[in-house]
A and B are shown apart, each in its own frame.
Chain A
């Protein structure tokens, strides 16, 4: 059994996302539940951002390692699809962390999809989408017309 008062949820919640390490799995909104039974076995339920997200295996390994490192044994990790993940499930600090890392965050829940994003480098709104597809499934590539810098955007998925 784990030492101290650190709960299994807190351990898993603090694991960084493999592709967006400025966010934890909890910030990203992909951590659904952590259940510990009487024998101390842990069942972690995650949801993928996109159906083919290639980071799922890395998430599984990272969560496993974190829990085993904290003294848990018999760790199982499952992925569930429903309800489908959306960017409205991002945690309260996620947008701040993304912006600080130079990744333009998606809009708040309930807001319309913005036609222009604020450049994370210079703050200009004179920006344009260079490609709706980026280095990972969840990001788009944008460019700022004011400072010329390209930047990534965690694109809205609803």
Chain B
């Protein structure tokens, strides 16, 4: 058992890293239900949200099992405050316009696909199972974002300038995807986690190729924005959680 050789607290937090990314991005995409630019896209974004929610449920359930303190997926999703969430800053960024939604999807899905393809070989069998299943889903999430990126980047003057603005806004958040942290590094050494730094070249090649097809340039590197993994979030997460957690907190343990 992997938990014999690594601290359970490390494994629990790592499962929350991955699960919180899925949960928060799922909620962001779900906000667009009935607000997407066309009907087919409404269905598409809802489908993507659903896949991510399913992955989040498996990962949060596992975090609760590893923690062994009686918290289930609901307690972890609806009972934590913003400082206790470990998601990347990228996934909590708002849907300012459709270009922001698509660029965020392109950055995250390309990252998640590279991550899951490595995690499929994790020594931790639960993480490996979630990743093997999730990789099939991340693969078409990536394709969906890639097609839109090319269509909008290589589209009209208006769509191109909106895509450039979105890339400029979101690019500084991508550095956090590949930052090593002590918890992840200990789990990498144990053959459980994927090394974030090793994902960057795979990700970068994908983004470069898509940007080239879309006629989009890279923004000037202005340093990276990070803090999500250690619970230091942008102001946007609190607002997201207040909406996502409102019902559960107002009516604890309510059921249909």
Using a CB–CB cutoff of 8 Å, the interface residues on chain A facing chain B are 48, 50-54, 80-86, 130-135, 137, 141, 157-158
CB <8 Å contact, B133 and A84:
yes
CB <8 Å contact, A84 and B136:
yes
Contact of A82 among B44, B54, B57, B128 (CB under 8 A): B128
Contact of A131 among B43, B49, B54 (CB under 8 A): B43
Q: Which residues of B contact A137 (CB under 8 A)?
A: 47, 50-51
Q: Which residues of A contact B136 (CB under 8 A)?
A: 84, 86, 157-158
Q: Which residues of B contact A83 (CB under 8 A)?
A: 132
What is the interface of chain A mostly: helix, strand, loop, or mixed?
loop
Q: Give the shortest distance, in Å, between B42 (CB) and chain A (any CB).
A: 9
Q: Given contact pairs A84-B129, A133-B48, enumerate 5 new A-B contacts (beta carbons under 8 Å).
A: A131-B40, A131-B43, A133-B44, A133-B46, A137-B50
CB <8 Å contact, B132 and A82:
yes
Q: List 7 A-B contacts (CB under 8 A).
A: A51-B51, A52-B50, A53-B50, A86-B136, A131-B40, A134-B43, A157-B136
- Whole-angstrom CA separation of A106 from B137 in the bound complex: 17
- Say whether, besides A81-B133, A84-B136, A132-B144, A53 and B44 are in contact (CB < 8 Å): no
CB <8 Å contact, A50 and B43:
no
Q: Which residues of B contact A51 (CB under 8 A)?
A: 51-52, 54-55, 57-58, 130, 133-134, 137
Among A50, A53, A134, residue most surrounded by chain B Cβ atoms (within 10 Å): A50
Q: Give the shortest distance, in Å, between A108 (CB) and chain B (any CB).
A: 18
- Say whether, besides A51-B51, A132-B144, A137-B50, A81 and B58 are in contact (CB < 8 Å): yes
- Say whether, besides A81-B129, A82-B129, A132-B140, A50 and B54 are in contact (CB < 8 Å): yes
Contact of B54 among A52, A80, A134 (CB under 8 A): A52
- Whole-angstrom CA separation of A157 from B47 in the bound complex: 15
Q: Which residues of A contact B52 (CB under 8 A)?
A: 51-52
- Whole-angstrom CA separation of A86 from B51 in the bound complex: 15
B53 interfacial contact with A, CB 8 Å: yes
105-156 of chain B: CB within 8 A of chain A: 125, 128-130, 132-134, 136-137, 140, 143-144
Contact of A50 among B40, B50, B57, B128 (CB under 8 A): B50
Q: Give the shortest distance, in Å, between B189 (CB) and chain A (any CB).
A: 24
Residue of A nearest to B133 (CB): A84
Q: Which residues of B contact A81 (CB under 8 A)?
A: 58, 129-130, 132-133
Q: Which residues of A contact B132 (CB under 8 A)?
A: 81-84
Q: Give the shortest distance, in Å, between B28 (CB) and chain A (any CB).
A: 15
B183-213 vs A: 1/0 string, CB under 8 Å? Answer: 0000000000000000000000000000000
